[in-house]
Amino acid sequence: MKYVIRILFIAVVILVSVGYYYKNTGDHLTGDKWVGIGILVASFILMPLFIYHRWKDKKVKDYMLTEENLQKMKDFTKEEKTDKN
């Protein structure tokens, strides 16, 4: 999965670069088309794959502010304050 994400990232960079190359040579319509395709691929294909890859096999409950997690944070800050003194 990470290789697919890397290949897509490189493809997006190449698409945007080619688009700006065309825009600099005077063909603004073609340049805008390539930049747009690159941005669409980045936003609708690359980002969802990246988010899925980073969040799979993780417990969402660990990142939610439940009473249990709030109490853990309070206890942790109390321990830090007593360690510094």
For residue 78, what pLDDT band results from cuts at 50, 70 and 90?
A: confident
Give the chain as a DSSP string. -HHHHHHHHHHHHHHHHHHHHHHHHT-HHHHHHHHHHHHHHIIIIIHHHHHHHHHTT--GGGGS--HHHHHHHHHHHHHHHHHH-
pTM (2 decimals)? 0.70
List pLDDT tens digits, range 32-48: 999 999 999 999 999 99
Average per-residue pLDDT for the chain: 91
Whether 28 shows a pLDDT value over 90: the answer reads: yes
Mean pLDDT value of segment 39-65: 91
Whether 84 shows a pLDDT value over 70: the answer reads: no
